[in-house]
Copies of this chain bind each other. A is one copy, B any other.
């Protein structure tokens, strides 16, 4: 059975091919498009509190949903152009994180990765 993320990757590849947009979709350019979309998400949250960001009104929730979609779309495109399996990479990175951030050491403490390095 095909995974839903693989189907999406195929669909987005066809979308770009049909429009002859692959020529613009270098990893460099896609990283720019990706961060521009991530910023639109940030923009929704910049003047509201953390608590407010967890309880969005329906209209706002829909807008945020579509921003997340845009990020996901360019993330999949970028991974596709670089031949990266996103799910595999995320699982590998989580394996690494489990080693870097042992429960007993970091429980309840937030920090940047470097804050926890020896």
Chain A residues in contact with chain B, CB under 8 A? 1, 3-5, 8, 11-12, 15, 18-21, 23-24, 26-29, 31-36, 38-54, 56, 61, 64-66, 68-73, 75-76, 78-79, 81-82, 84, 86-87, 89-94, 96-98, 101, 103, 106-108, 110-112
Find the residue from A12, A15, A38 having the highest chain B CB count within 10 A.
A38
Copies in the complex: 4
Q: Which of B15, B24, B28, B91 contacts A8 (CB 8 A)?
A: B91
Q: A8-B91, A75-B71, A97-B15 are in contact. Are A31 and B38 (CB under 8 A)?
A: yes
Q: Which 5 A-B pairs have the closest CB atoms?
A: A39-B39, A47-B110, A26-B50, A69-B93, A28-B53
Q: Which residue of B lies closest to A35 (CB)?
A: B38
Nearest-neighbour CB distance to chain B for A65, whole angstroms, equals 5
Residue among B3, B4, B46, B82 making CB contact with A33, cutoff 8 Å: B46
Set of chain B residues within 8 Å of A12, measured between Cβ atoms:
94
Q: Closest residue to A55 on the B side, CB-wise? A: B27
